[in-house]
Amino acid sequence: MRLTDCHSFHDFRRMAKSRLPGPIFDYIDGAADDEVTYRRNTSSFDSCSLVPNVLRGVRDIDMSVTVMGQKLALPVYCSPTALQRLFHHQGERAVAAAAGHYGTMFGVSSLGTVSLEEARRISGGPQVYQFYFHKDRGLNREMMARAKQAGIEVMMLTVDSITGGNRERDKRTGFSIPFRLTLGGMVQFAVKPAWALNYLTHEKFKLPQLDNHVDMGGGALSISRYFTEMLDPSMTWDDVAAMVQEWGGQFCLKGVMSVEDAKRAVEIGCTGIVLSNHGGRQLDGSTTGFGMLAEIVDAVGDKIDVIMDGGVQRGTHVLKALSLGAKAVGLGRFYLFPLAAAGQKGVERALGLMKAEIERDMRLMGCSSIADLTRSNLRFT
Ligand SMILES: Cc1cc2nc3c(=O)[nH]c(=O)nc-3n(C[C@H](O)[C@H](O)[C@H](O)COP(=O)(O)O)c2cc1C
């Protein structure tokens, strides 16, 4: 399979599957428990239909948006995801460059394999730094100071991961960082020699956001122990309010799902919230970002930028979310499979296809700018 054969999310997923060792593919593709929420994320977009208008003079399409003070050429951005070096040796560098190429935002994860400073230099577009709340308050402060120094535009605190989700596919394959695989998992690595060669002949795997705090090489602290031992499940709104004050700029919470929490995010001075269930990887059976969107936009949409992610595979999914009032839409696996399939070229192709879909779909809807997308364009079935 070649990159030019990839025309949709499903094609990229197939190509990634053929290239990656099984445990790594399952780490990306998998979710928590029975993966009900993961499946529901994409199907939730089918709960409504688009109602097009015709003869509206839609020669020129402007799909730019402004979210948390950042002007994006596209209404989608690359949501922060962990461990990208494992998927392709170009890792975050590829995603940062591709996002920059399309004039959109890129989120670097605390568990990223390239430093936030280097990603910042590559991307050119606005950059998000995604972080977790650690028990060690000094570490939290240090991370924010480092992000400020690097010129990060948006701080994004992930609040849905105070403990790790139950990813059963990873348990079966033995996937963990540092690598410790079951025998079956090792066999699956052995049958993907091209990936192994690529992995071994490029720079060593590292986690530069955490290297001073987590010993990956010696295996002193695995990723799952990072979640259980270093993150603070007792964090409260007061703790986060103090961080928002200290940052003093664009600050957003990722993983807010209730109207009540959305209101509290406004109260503590956040400038954005991402309605997200972490791609179904945390609390299985939880609701979807798209499902909660209308209610939350109605409650706080005039006071804070409401964003959503989860299950986005098509331009029409993006149009539906924007019609309900989302200011922008996050992509996860949509760019990760292309990264795994073909590095920067893959991510660029995927974002290019998404851009073309959004443009075509807006034209077919009779909308020449994002502001034309309103609830009158939707019918719930
Ligand atoms: C492999 C993988 C790793 C992820 N790592 C992180 C992370 O480090 N921090 C974070 O806040 N979200 C992380 N996420 C969640 C994404 O940012 C995003 O919320 C989710 O992928 C959206 O769902 P989608 O993949 O269906 O688009 C990860 C998701 C995947 C698939």
Task: For residue 79, report the distance from its CA to the centre of ligand 1, in Å.
Answer: 7
β-pair partners for 48: 380
Burial classification of residue 379, based on how many CB atoms lie within 10 Å of its CB (0-12 exposed, 13-18 middle, 19 or more buried):
exposed
Q: Is any atom of ligand 1 closer than 6 Å to the C-beta of 35? A: no
Q: Is the pLDDT of residue 90 over 70?
A: yes
Among candidate residues 88, 89, 278, 317, the one labeled active-site is: 278
**Residue at 225: amino acid letter:** R
Q: Is the pLDDT of residue 183 over 50?
A: yes
Alpha-carbon Rg for the chain in angstroms: 20
Q: What is the pLDDT of residue 215?
A: 61
Q: Is any atom of ligand 1 closer than 6 Å to the C-beta of 122? A: no
Q: Is the pLDDT of residue 246 over 70?
A: yes
Task: For residue 367, report the distance from its CA to the centre of ligand 1, in Å.
Answer: 30
Q: Is any atom of ligand 1 closer than 6 Å to the C-beta of 81? A: yes
Q: How far apart are CA 325 and CA 46, in angstroms?
A: 17
Q: Is any atom of ligand 1 closer than 6 Å to the C-beta of 255? A: no
Alpha carbon 316 to chain centroid, angstroms: 18
Contact assessment for residue 129 and residue 115, using Cβ atoms and an 8 Å cutoff: no
Residue 154, CA atoms < 13 Å, CB-side half-sphere: 32
Average pLDDT, the chain: 93
CB atoms within 10 A of CB 178: 14
Q: Is the pLDDT of residue 227 over 90?
A: no
CA angle 304, 308, 311 (to 5 degrees): 180
Contact assessment for residue 304 and residue 272, using Cβ atoms and an 8 Å cutoff: yes
Q: Is any atom of ligand 1 closer than 6 Å to the C-beta of 332? A: yes
Q: What pTM was computed for the model? A: 0.96
Task: For residue 287, report the distance from its CA to the centre of ligand 1, in Å.
Answer: 16
Domains in the chain, ordered, with CATH? 3-49+71-371 (3.20.20.70)
Q: Which residue owns the Cα nearest ligand 1 atom 28?
A: 81
186 vs 273 pLDDT, higher one: 273
Q: How far apart are CA 361 and CA 210, in angstroms?
A: 42
Q: Which residue owns the Cα nearest ligand 1 atom 5?
A: 81
- 245: helix, strand or coil: helix
Q: Is the pLDDT of residue 220 over 50?
A: no
CA 278 to ligand 1: nearest atom: 19
Q: Is any atom of ligand 1 closer than 6 Å to the C-beta of 79? A: yes
> Ligand 1 test: best mutation among 35, 227, 278, most atoms within 8 Å of CB?
278
Task: For residue 329, report the distance from its CA to the centre of ligand 1, in Å.
Answer: 13
Residue 375, CA atoms < 13 Å, CB-side half-sphere: 9
Q: Is any atom of ligand 1 closer than 6 Å to the C-beta of 125? A: no
Q: Is the pLDDT of residue 39 over 50?
A: yes
pLDDT average, residue stretch 130-138: 89
Task: For residue 279, report the distance from its CA to the centre of ligand 1, in Å.
Answer: 6
Q: What is the pLDDT of residue 278?
A: 98
- 214: confidence class by pLDDT, cuts 50, 70, 90: low
User: Residue 35 corresponds to which tokens in the numbers above?
Assistant: 């993966």
Q: How far apart are CA 77 and CA 348, in angstroms?
A: 12
Q: What is the pLDDT of residue 217?
A: 52
Q: Is any atom of ligand 1 closer than 6 Å to the C-beta of 162? A: no
CA 28 to ligand 1: nearest atom: 1
Q: Is the pLDDT of residue 200 over 70?
A: yes
- 188: confidence class by pLDDT, cuts 50, 70, 90: confident
Q: Which residue owns the Cα nearest ligand 1 atom 21?
A: 332
Helix-strand-coil split of the chain, %, nearest 5 = 50, 15, 40
- 381: confidence class by pLDDT, cuts 50, 70, 90: confident
Q: pLDDT tens across 151-179, in order? A: 999 999 999 998 889 999 999 988 887 77
Q: Is any atom of ligand 1 closer than 6 Å to the C-beta of 312? A: yes
- 319: confidence class by pLDDT, cuts 50, 70, 90: very high
Q: What is the pLDDT of residue 207?
A: 86
Q: What is the pLDDT of residue 74?
A: 98
Q: Is the pLDDT of residue 219 over 60?
A: no
Does the annotation count 10 as an active-site position?
Answer: no
